[in-house]
Structure 1
Amino acid sequence: MSALWVVVPAHQEAARIGATLEALAAQRDRDFTLVVVDNASTDATAALAHEFARWAPFPVHVLREEEKGVGCAVDTGFRYAIARGAGLLARTDADCLPLPGWTAAARAALERGAGLVCGRVEARRDEHGPLGRAVFRGLVRLAALFGRIRPAHRRRHGFLAPYRMHAGNNMAITAALYETVGGMPRRPSPTDRLFLNRVRRHTTAVVHARGMIVENSTRRLRAYGIVGTARWYLDKGAGRHGEDPR
Structure 2
Amino acid sequence: MTELWVVIPAYQEEARIEGALRALAAQRDRDFTLLVVDNDSADGTVDKVRAFAERAPFPVRVLVETEKGVGCAVDTGFRHAIAHGAALLARTDADCLPQPGWTAAARAGMLASRGLVCGHITARHDEHGPLGRTVFRVLVALGAAFGRIRPAHRRRHGYLVPYRMHAGNNMAITAELYQAVGGMPRRPSPTDRMFINSVRRHTTAIVHRRDMVVQNSTRRIRAYGVLGTARWYLERGAGARGVDPR
Q: Fold-level match, TM-score > 0.5?
A: yes
Distance 1:137 1:243, change over 3 A: closer
Q: C-alpha separation between the residues in 2 aligned to 1:9 and 1:67? A: 12
Residue 178, structure 1, aligned to residue 175, structure 2: no
Equivalent residue, structure 1, for 2:213:
213
Map of 2:36 onto structure 1? 36
Q: Deviations over 1:49-90 (max 9, x none)?
A: 111110100000000000110000000000000000100000
1:83-98 alignment runs, 5 A limit: 83-98=83-98
**Matches of 1:237 and 1:168, distance apart in 2:** 16
The separation in 2 between residues aligned to 1:138 and 1:229, in whole angstroms, is 11
Q: Give the stretch that moved more between structures: 111-120 or 18-27.
A: 111-120
Kindly provide the CA deviation profile for residues 116-159 of structure 1, in whole angstroms up to 9, marking residues without a partner as x. 01101100000012232122112211211111111111100000
Q: In structure 1, how many angstroms separate the alpha carbons of the residues matched to 2:230 and 2:193?
A: 13
> Any idea what the Cα deviations from partners look like across 1:21-59, whole Å, max 9, x if unmatched?
000000000000000001010000001011111010000
Q: Identify the range of structure 1 (213-222 vs 174-183) with the bigger mean alpha-carbon deviation.
A: 213-222
User: Aligned pair in 2 of structure 1 residues 243, 156: CA closer, same or farther (>3 Å)?
Assistant: closer
Which residue of the partner structure matches residue 23 of structure 2?
23
The answer to whether the Cα contact below 8 Å between 1:4 and 1:107 also exists between their aligned partners in 2 is yes
Q: Which residue of 2 aligns with 1:2?
A: 2
Structure 1 equivalent of residue 60 of structure 2: 60
Pair 1:8–1:235, CA change in 2 (3 A): same
TM-score scaled by length of structure 1: 0.96
The residue type equivalent to 1:166 in the other structure is H
- Structure 1 distance, partners of 2:97, 2:158, is 35
1:164 maps to amino acid: R
Q: Which secondary structure does the structure 2 equivalent of 1:89 belong to?
A: strand
> What letter matches 2:98 in structure 1?
P
Alignment CA distance shift 1:238-1:138 (3 Å)? closer
Q: CA deviation at 1:233?
A: 4.5
Counterparts of 1:138 and 1:243 in 2: how far apart (Å)? 21
**SS at 1:184's partner residue?**
coil
Cα drift, residue 18 of structure 1:
0.4
Q: Give the Cα–Cα distance (whole angstroms) in 1 for the partners of residues 71 and 230 of structure 2.
A: 19
**Paired residues, number:** 246
Shift in Å, 1:170: 0.2
Indicate how the Cα distance of structure 1 residues 114 and 148 shifts in structure 2: closer, same or farther if over 3 A, else same. farther
Structure 1, unaligned stretches of length 5 or more? none
**Which amino acid in 2 is paired with 1:210?**
R
CA distance in 2, matches of 1:6, 1:26: 14
Asked if the contact 2:188/2:243 (under 8 Å) is kept, the reply is no
1:243 is displaced (CA, Å) by 4.9
Alignment map for 1:65-144 (pairs within 5 Å): 65-144=65-144
Q: CA deviation at 1:235?
A: 5.2
Alignment correspondent of 2:163: 163
- Whether the 8 Å CA contact 2:71–2:185 is kept in 1: the answer is yes
RMSD (CA atoms): 1.3
Distance 2:169 2:51 in 1: 23
Q: Distance in 1 between matches of 2:46 and 2:233?
A: 28
Deviation at 1:237? 3.8
